[in-house]
Amino acid sequence: MDATDADAAVDMDSEVPVNDAVTAVMEQWAKERPDIDFWPIGVVGRLMRISRLWEKEIKDFLAGHDLEPGEFDVLSTLRRSGAPYELTAGAFLKTSLVTTGAITLRVDRMQAKGLVTRIRDERDRRTVKVRLTDQGLEVIDRVLPLHIANEARLLRTLSPQERTRLAAVMSALLQSYGDLPAPPAAGK
């Protein structure tokens, strides 16, 4: 199946035509510049539009739980690190892929809310770890299942096979950009 065929189908096994805002953009461009094959817009444009829509949906969902997306990222990163739910700043940066300044500001806000605390490493007083508080652990354990259900809602129109195929295709694309798993977190 070439890119034009893929643009006219929901998935590789479907013949359902696509009729969304990106289709209209591509049709307009095809009329204005018939010398260019605009198939990339069919993929990149849709991924970008979905990303913006999902970002708003997730932000709104988390706001209903008094969390910002960055705070949820911190809570979930610490929670999935395992007990005692703490990471050094360096290990956290490798796991979450955000800047030092962003982490510092998030942790400051979250510490004020009672969700995390900073603790000095007993072996190396220069090293500071960020740890979930009991309140932070309660929040992430309560919100996480709801967040996953919300993400499932965002994907409800896809069949299990379509979700699996989409995840595999996006994983291949991410890997092509070198987006590979971080090495196991050190400094726990």
Same-domain pairing of 128 and 171: yes
pLDDT in the model for residue 121: 75
Residues 70 and 48 in one domain: no
Whole-number pLDDT of residue 93: 77
Domain span including residue 78:
65-188
Q: What is the pLDDT of residue 19?
A: 85
Q: What is the pLDDT of residue 3?
A: 39
Decide if 59 is inside a domain: no
Q: Which residues have a Cβ under 8 Å from the Cβ of 114 and sit 6 or more positions away?
A: 133, 135, 136
In a domain, 57, yes or no: no
* Within-domain flag for 58: no
Q: Supply the pLDDT for residue 126.
A: 78
Residues 115 and 39 in one domain: no
Alpha helices in the chain (DSSP H): 3-7, 21-32, 39-40, 46-63, 69-80, 89-96, 100-112, 134-154, 160-176
Dihedrals φ, ψ of 132, to 5°? -65, 140
Distance of CA 40 to the CA centre of its chain: 22
pLDDT, one tens digit per residue, over 4-35 is: 433 433 444 555 567 889 999 999 999 999 99
- Cβ atoms within 10 A of the Cβ of 133, count? 16
Per-residue pLDDT of the chain (188 residues; tens, 9 = 90+): 333 433 433 444 555 567 889 999 999 999 999 999 999 999 999 999 999 999 999 999 999 999 999 899 999 999 999 999 999 877 877 777 666 777 888 899 999 999 999 998 777 777 889 999 999 999 999 999 999 999 999 999 999 999 999 999 999 999 998 887 766 655 44
Domain membership flag for residue 60: no
How many domains does the structure of the chain reveal? 2
Residues 15 and 90 in one domain: no
Report the CATH number at residue 134.
1.10.10.10
Q: Are residues 104 and 159 in the same domain?
A: yes
For residues 25 and 73, state if they share a domain: no
Within-domain flag for 156? yes
In this predicted structure, what is the pLDDT of residue 48? 95
